[in-house]
């Protein structure tokens, strides 16, 4: 058997045997350029993938959003919505999610044809700026 045939066999075996993919988004903070334990995202972000539709043997496609800090909680400041698309398991851990603008919505959304699990572990949602509540 020549080398090309062996490579093709490995690719075929991996596609048949692959059951789970875990993608971890780990927020890492340099100590000199950002405020302590803070990540600021000023625009809408969509993290998406269609790989789950291409690998027929795949049973779980998981996204994890966390930070490199175990304690205290990391402050994730959003000016809009962070969207996960195409994952059937989404886990978010050890984050304090705050809004950087006084708009009506911010946060995290998950879009998937089959969402099997959505897990929040030590996640706190707060609004950092007060909205004008005067009704005229």
Rounded (10°) CA dihedral 53, 58, 63, 64: 180
Average pLDDT score over the chain: 80
pLDDT tens digits for range 20-71: 999 999 887 665 555 667 888 888 899 999 888 887 888 999 999 988 766 5
Q: Is 77 inside any structural domain? A: yes
pLDDT at 93 over 60: yes
Q: Is 11 inside any structural domain? A: no
Whole-structure pTM value: 0.77
Q: Is 32 inside any structural domain? A: yes
Backbone angles phi, psi at 13, to 5 degrees: -60, -45
> What string of DSSP letters covers 88-134?
SEEEEEEEEEEESS-SS--EEEEE-SS--EEEEEEEEEEESS-----
Number of domains in the chain: 1
Q: Is 105 inside any structural domain? A: yes
Domain that holds residue 102: 19-127
Q: Is 134 inside any structural domain? A: no
Q: Is 4 inside any structural domain? A: no
pLDDT at 133 over 90: no
Q: Is 56 inside any structural domain? A: yes
Q: Is 135 inside any structural domain? A: no
Residue 134: its pLDDT value, please? 46
Q: Which of 15-29, 82-96, 104-118 has the highest mean pLDDT?
A: 82-96
């Amino acid at each position: 058997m020549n080398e090309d045939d062996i490579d093709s066999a490995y690719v075929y075996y991996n596609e048949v045997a692959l059951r789970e993919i875990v993608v971890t988004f780990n927020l890492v903070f340099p100590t000199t350029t950002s405020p302590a334990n803070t990540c600021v995202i000023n625009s809408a972000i969509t993290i998406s993938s269609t790989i789950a539709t291409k690998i027929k043997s795949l049973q779980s496609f998981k996204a994890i959003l966390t930070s490199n800090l175990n304690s205290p909680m990391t402050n994730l400041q959003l000016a809009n919505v962070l969207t996960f698309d195409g994952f059937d398991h989404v886990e978010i851990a050890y984050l304090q999610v705050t809004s950087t603008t006084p708009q009506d919505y911010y946060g995290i959304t998950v879009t998937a044809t089959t969402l099997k699990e959505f897990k929040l572990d030590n996640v706190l949602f707060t609004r950092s700026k007060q909205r004008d509540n005067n009704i005229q």
